[in-house]
Amino acid sequence: MENTRPDVLDWKLLRVSPLAKRLLEIAASGHHSAVLIGPSQTGKVTLARSMTTILPDLPLIAPDSIASLRSVYEHHRSSLLVLERLDRWDEVSLAWVRQQMAQCSHPGLLIATLCPCPCGKVDNDCQCSPEAKQAHQQRLRPTLERFALAVTLSHRKAAPNEPSDEPSALVRQRVEAAQCVQFQRNHARLNSRVSLEELDHCIPLDLPGQKLMEAAHKHLALSSEQTLLLRQVAATIADLAGDAVPSPWLKLPHLAEAISYHPHWT
């Protein structure tokens, strides 16, 4: 699969949720970790791997065991790291992944896929009991909450006359432009590597954004790590919109969109 032709993975050919593509464009721009949630045959893995077409400088690595994953981290390889079917990983492996994410030790971009129930089938075909589904999600919750972004995919059929989506080359231009802004502002770092204190100094929340952040803390019970992830993602959304230059303020729409991608079970 690593040898899949790039033209097959071009975004103009991938008929998946526009929301999922938007989320991955944000993830690519700031190197924010992201998880694609959904049943089998919804294009999660293909979409994750297709990010090589909007991030041409990151090689794709898709480890099939915890041993191969450890090797990636030990050699500090900058890459697009795709962890497929994270829900099938055992507890020891998941704990190790969480530890690495907490330490921000992967130098590239981490994308994962998982199914929301044990069988991995769509709702109409799923025969998992509510108890089994709840236990499945509870087991994965600590890992899910470590990600900066999450989106749920479903089966989607393209309409007969549906126009082609944007080509990867066009998306890549926006990604590169947003990264250029970040490198200049953040001393050659992307937003996922910037502290909350630095964000407060370089791209602070405006007053409406501050009020929304307070509400998010109250209703989502955000940890300090999750607060940082939200602010980092919101900064990248501002960079993609061109709103961080010349007025370096993080505004309510940027934060609201970041909150909409907050990892949780639907």
Contact present, 66 and 92 (Cβ < 8 Å): yes
Residue 121 pLDDT: 81
The tens digit of pLDDT for each residue in 206-241 reads 999 999 999 999 999 999 999 999 999 999 999 999
- Read off the tokens for 200: 């407060």
Q: What percent of the chain has pLDDT over 70?
A: 92
Mean pLDDT of 158-184: 86
Contact present, 263 and 111 (Cβ < 8 Å): no
For the chain, the distance separating the N- and C-terminal CA atoms, rounded to the nearest angstrom, is 30
- How far CA 119 is from CA of 18, 124, 136, in Å, comes to 26, 12, 10
Contact present, 149 and 32 (Cβ < 8 Å): yes
- Read off the tokens for 205: 């929340």
Contact present, 86 and 44 (Cβ < 8 Å): no
CA dihedral for 66, 24, 224, 200, sign (positive or negative): positive
All structural domains of the chain: 6-152 (3.40.50.300), 169-260 (no CATH)
The tens digit of pLDDT for each residue in 16-54 reads 889 999 999 999 999 999 999 999 888 899 999 999 999
pLDDT tier at 2, thresholds 50, 70, 90: very low
Strands of the chain (E only): list them: 34-37, 60-61, 80-83, 109-114, 149-152
Mean pLDDT of 90-101: 95
